[in-house]
Amino acid sequence: MREKALCLLDEHIQNENLKKHLFAVEALMRALARKFNQDEEIWGLAGLVHDLDWEETKETPEEHSLIAAAVLEKEGFPKEIIQAVKVHNHIHGFEPESLLEKALYSTEEITGLIVACALVQPSKKLKDVTVDSVLKKFKEKSFAAGVDRNIILKSEEYLKLGLNELIQLALDAMISINEVLGLS
């Protein structure tokens, strides 16, 4: 199923930075699946394909995630992945219900903040980013302004994960694929 997902990424996404975001979210979702004793493949795939339609819908954000869900359904992806992808776009106002939906909804944006933190390091390497440095930048609303901090903070309610723990989990997951992300 991952091979099919990678083919879909190649078909629907040209922007290499967007692909890196998807790989980062896949790594984070796999780490979260391990933490919560869930299906790592399902959770990883949800992270990998969650923004499949981003390039097609960037001018129509109200369609984002709905087109991706339709593509995934047509391609035979599991229903829980399709639903998590659909729900992750907060514009729709869908309330995440399953643990998978809550995890994808509340955590995927932290990867963008962590990448931004790495890029302001002199080395531009993930290994030089710390939980404290991410927390400091988290408080600066103008830094990585596109990252919705309020959605990330939902992870405390949805997953019972404190911000420090989420950042450490995401940082470790992303460091494990830092070559793929171009931040090694």
pLDDT digits (tens, 9 = 90+) for 5-42: 999 999 999 999 999 999 999 999 999 999 999 999 99
pLDDT tens track for 130-163: 999 999 999 999 999 999 999 999 999 999 999 9
- What is the value of pTM for the model shown? 0.96
Distances (CA, A) of 74 to 46, 55, 71, 136, 153: 15, 19, 5, 43, 33
pLDDT at 183: 92
Residue 16 · residue 150 · CB < 8 Å: no
Distances (CA, A) of 111 to 126, 160, 164: 11, 19, 14
Q: How far apart are CA 38 and CA 119, in angstroms?
A: 32
Q: How far apart are CA 49 and CA 68, in angstroms?
A: 8
Q: What percent of the chain has pLDDT over 90?
A: 99
- Name residues whose C-beta falls within 8 Å of residue 153's C-beta, 6 or more positions apart in sequence: 106, 163
Torsion angle (degrees, nearest 10) of CA 6, 3, 28, 43: 120
pLDDT band at residue 178 using 50, 70 and 90 as cut-offs = very high
pLDDT at 151: 95
Mean pLDDT, rounded, for 175-180: 95
Domain 2-179 has CATH 1.10.287: no
- Name residues whose C-beta falls within 8 Å of residue 26's C-beta, 6 or more positions apart in sequence: 44, 45, 47, 48
Q: Where are the domains of the chain?
A: 2-179
Per the prediction, the chain carries an average pLDDT of 96
Written as one letter, the residue type at 133 is S
pLDDT at 89: 96
pLDDT at 19: 97
pLDDT at 22: 98
Residue 108 · residue 24 · CB < 8 Å: no
